[in-house]
Amino acid sequence: MNKAYILSLDQGTTSSRAIIYDHEGKAQAIAQKEYQQFFPKPAWVEHDPMEIWSSQMAVATEVIAKMGIKAKSIAALGITNQRETVVLWNRKTGKPIYKAIVWQDRRTAHHCKSLMDAGYASAIKQKTGLEIDPYFSATKIKWILDEVKEARALANKGHLAFGTIDSWLVWNLTSGKKHWTDVTNASRTMLFNINTLEWDDELLDLFDIPKSILPEVGSNSELVGHTSNQTLKASIPIAGVAGDQQAALFGQMCVEKGMVKNTYGTGCFLMMNTGGKVVQSQHKLLSTIAWQLGEKTTYALEGSVFTGGAVVQWLRDGLQLIKHASDSEALARSVSDNGGLYFIPAFTGLGAPHWKPEARAMIYGLSRGTTHAHIARAALESIAYQSYDVIKAMEQDTHVRIDHLKVDGGASANNFLMQFQSDVLQENVQRPAILETTSLGAAYFAGLTVGFWNDIHDIANQWTLEKEFKPETKKQVTEHLIKNWHQVIKKAF
């Protein structure tokens, strides 16, 4: 095969990465570059779109050079990206009119509060599957339109373009030929109706956003365009695009209804495949599009835990209890139980299923016998309890019993945590050999389009288990722990 590789671009919140995959779905080379974070005011987070683009190009070029291959031996290019982050640019010059406002940015909290007070929550949830929150793109787009002087005038002339990061990359990769996004990224803007798969005119009116700035929307696995000669010096088909969590769900091959993955990174990102139907959550989970393949749309329920692995960072940097994140495992194992200690890591509030932005962190149950090992153990256990709460909410919303959990992300390397997760869930936890599920998912979407892989069956057997954790603690014991956790977490509200 002379076109033996897929190039996957993974544009994350702190770094841009490029990975080359072979036909077996093995990563052959990786390049990564961190880029600058801007915090101009408290709770504001911005990126420079030009740096996002240049860092992404730099790693793409680097990874191709590392492999010692020609760009033309790449069968297709896939893109996955940080979701919700917005860029507005001038179509004539290709230059952004403001920095990218990042998903973490809370500057539009007031606006969101006024929308909630005005009673829009349930209509917005019904159309978009989302809770009203600054997290999503709509209020950020409106902020730029209102605050940047020339924005509305440019929009009136049809010269303004909006995009999430995938659109921004596609625009640049095609040298401005394509203004395009995929359904998963669109579904995070709060402007897209996930039932009809169209931009929603009523929401555009509500947010005062002109339709002319929006990209065309397509599926996750289709020929979007080709890289231009000015970019990768070859015409590579751009053939698969998806938001990061959706790409990870696909990379984990959670392709059947009821399958769930949890990514244990800074936060924990849980997603459940709910099949061909939108499930409206009764537990403040988000309903979202998992992917669209051909005419077939698959939906998902999503719940994000704000502080996951970050609690381990705090043990390391804040408390200086450990030197490396991985040291938390041996420290937690050095005691036989939590000693009655519960750690609610609500440093930045609590995410799903609680949505309590004003909650604050606490350690509860300190006694004279408490040691640093108990604190480390309670911290790791808190990651599992929070994930448990989201999974139970998913089960209640779907009436589907989750019988195993697929895991990835940095903290999934922690065997104590994975075992404890299996114990509290009383279900098996499966850690795959390949933890690069996000970029792999994008590679799969791209490869399917160009016939690099024929169909899902062709790739499903590439998912291989590295380690499976089975419940080892009796249900009565863990039920007692979970009951205590729920009593304590309420105190943090």
β-pairing, 192-193 with 296-305?
unpaired
Cα–Cα distance between 18 and 443 in angstroms, integer?
11
Structure tokens at 434: 């390949």
Segment contacting ligand ADP (CB under 6 A): 121-129, 148-156, 410-418, 440-448? 410-418
β-pairing, 180-182 with 87-90?
unpaired
In 10 A of CB 41, how many CB atoms?
A: 10
Instruction: Establish if 432 lies at the interface with ligand ADP (CB under 6 A).
Output: no
Indicate the helix (H) or strand (E) that contains 172: helix 165-173
Burial class (CB in 10 A: 0-12, 13-18, 19+), 30: middle
Residue pair 315/275 in contact (Cβ under 8 Å)? The answer is no
Question: Which segments within 306-360 are labelled E, that is strand?
Answer: 342-344
Least separation in angstroms between residue 408's CB and ligand ADP is 8
Per CB under 6 A, the list member of 326, 348, 426, 484 interacting with ligand ADP is: 326
Residue pair 41/93 in contact (Cβ under 8 Å)? The answer is no
Segment contacting ligand ADP (CB under 6 A): 165-173, 293-301, 408-416, 477-485? 408-416
| Touching ligand ADP, residues 292-321 (CB under 6 A) | 309-310, 312-313
Residue pair 376/322 in contact (Cβ under 8 Å)? The answer is yes
Cα–Cα distance between 236 and 238 in angstroms, integer?
6
Per CB under 6 A, the list member of 258, 349, 357, 410 interacting with ligand ADP is: 410
| Touching ligand ADP, residues 257-296 (CB under 6 A) | 265-266
Instruction: Establish if 32 lies at the interface with ligand ADP (CB under 6 A).
Output: no
Least separation in angstroms between residue 265's CB and ligand ADP is 3
Least separation in angstroms between residue 184's CB and ligand ADP is 18
Per CB under 6 A, the list member of 189, 245, 328, 382 interacting with ligand ADP is: 328
Q: In this chain, which residue has its C-beta nearest to ligand ADP? A: 410
Distance of CA 395 to the CA centre of its chain: 21
Nearer to ligand ADP, 242 or 411 (CB): 411
Return the axis-axis angle of helices 372-398 and 415-425, rounded to nearest 10°. 40
Between the two ends of the chain, the Cα-to-Cα distance in Å is: 58
Cα–Cα distance between 232 and 61 in angstroms, integer?
7
Per CB under 6 A, the list member of 30, 402, 413, 482 interacting with ligand ADP is: 413
Instruction: Establish if 325 lies at the interface with ligand ADP (CB under 6 A).
Output: yes
Site string for ligand ADP, 329-348 (x = CB under 6 A): x-------------------
Least separation in angstroms between residue 347's CB and ligand ADP is 12
Segment contacting ligand ADP (CB under 6 A): 59-67, 324-332, 390-398, 465-473? 324-332
Nearer to ligand ADP, 200 or 423 (CB): 423
Positions touching ligand ADP (CB under 6 A) are 265-266, 309-310, 312-313, 325-326, 328-329, 409-411, 413-414
